[in-house]
Amino acid sequence: MWTAFTQTHLTSLKERKTDCIFLINKKTFEAHKDILANISPVFEKMFFGNLASKKILIEDIQPDDFKQMLDYIYLETIQFNSIENAWSIVYIAKKYLLYDLLHLCTLYVLEHLTIDTLVLSYEYSELYNLKYLREKCFSDIIEAVNSVLVADYHMKATTLKAILRYPKLLITNLDLLCKIIDWAIDECHYENISTEPESIVDILKEHDILRYINRCSLISNCEYCLRPIIICNCVGELVQQTVKYLSDQVINWEEETSVENFKLSWPDICKTRFKFKIAKRIDLRWRDEFVSTITVTKKIIISGLLLSSESSRIYPKATYDGHIRVKFCDRISGSIIATPTFWNYNSEYDFQVYVPLRFPVRLDPDKVYDIKLAYRNLNLDRKASVLKLYMSDYLEDKKRDLGVWFHEYDGTLIRGISYYPAW
């Protein structure tokens, strides 16, 4: 392994004449053959092989990236400015067989993954056959799937199919259907095709994605408003038209056996709070809202909440049909910062229910937020009775150095939060 130069060595290098030149986009970089050859077998062959040359033309690397590589070779240190930059250096490290540099790149990516770079990093790790990083990225994609599918990155069709092949996605049938169609709409834009329902369906056929759509979801009721999907207001107009087109045309496709209905559980990225003791029972009318105030240590995106279910002294082991409304508001202005989630569910009394957010919420560390919850029991014409709990006031993700502070002094209904780094 190449060891770092002392200051004396660096001084002596400056006094030595360089003996090779790299030409990149009209920029030149001078270096020492023996130093480069000592760290890379590719450079060794380049300078001391049968076709050795002093001047090397490079057309597949950007000048700034190449300079970063040279700095690493001479100083054995490197500073990345973004995940995209790290992936550019991965290409260089793979090209010149610089394995120590490759390790630093992948380590940086692992420590700086965000919801907007997760799929990009998965696709790059697949391209460069970085197994551990690929598996880690895919695991996180599945855990935060509803946030990933609305992130500002257009994934490849093969990536979408890999996600859809996963048997137990924590996403509702409606949301999965809508996000598949949204992907096809974006693909139409990328291919410069008109975004008509017929064209959108053709894209799904072309990439063999149609098979991952659950036929029953086309005629089922929306999990949020309980109206038929083709007439509900929870989806965009073009998505609704495409669903109607799929239903009316009765297009035949072989449905993938892994296509399943939504599984009511919660992901590993849902961090749960420590329970101390019961605070008290509260009764909530449908218009009443329970408010929890939170702050965050870094920019995050929240994709779901783990909440207390209703409480019953008479039927402690029974189940009930319930409805929860979740709103995120700026505490100072009172304004709603994301479209509220209306969640219908079936649960045991005195248990807990996971609510995947219809629209994942991005939060900043310099603001204070209120989470407002409203409960309704669909089986009983009465107030919803819920137990408040005293719980730990801090949720921490040590691996990613993220945290959520709860500013509650009289108990809470929020037992856990699913969140991931944003931006």
| Contact (CB, 8 A) for 241 and 197 | yes
Q: Alpha-carbon distance 128 to 150, whole Å?
A: 25
Compute how many other C-beta atoms are within 10 angstroms of the C-beta atom of residue 329: 20
Q: Which residues of the chain have pLDDT under 70?
A: 1-15, 223, 249-265, 313, 315-317
| Contact (CB, 8 A) for 355 and 362 | no
3-state secondary structure of 412: strand
Give pTM, 2 decimals.
Answer: 0.86
Q: Of 118, 386, 124, whose CA–CA distance to 278 is shortest?
A: 386
Q: What is the 8-class DSSP label of residue 221?
A: B
Q: What are the tens digits of pLDDT across the range 274-316?
A: 988 888 889 888 889 999 999 999 999 999 999 999 988 676 6
Integer-rounded Cα Rg, in Å, for the chain is 27
Q: What are the tens digits of pLDDT across the range 106-143?
A: 999 999 999 999 999 999 999 999 999 999 999 999 99
170: which 2 tokens? Answer: 């924590």
- Residues with Cβ within 8 Å of residue 227, at least 6 apart in sequence: 221, 233
pLDDT at position 378 is 85
DSSP per-residue string spanning 136-159: HHHHHHHHTHHHHTTSS----HHH
Query: Which CA distances in Å does 167 have to 123, 213, 282, 346, 386?
Result: 20, 13, 38, 22, 33
3-state secondary structure of 220: coil
| Domains of the chain: residue spans and CATH | 7-111 (3.30.710.10), 154-249 (no CATH), 270-421 (2.60.120.820)
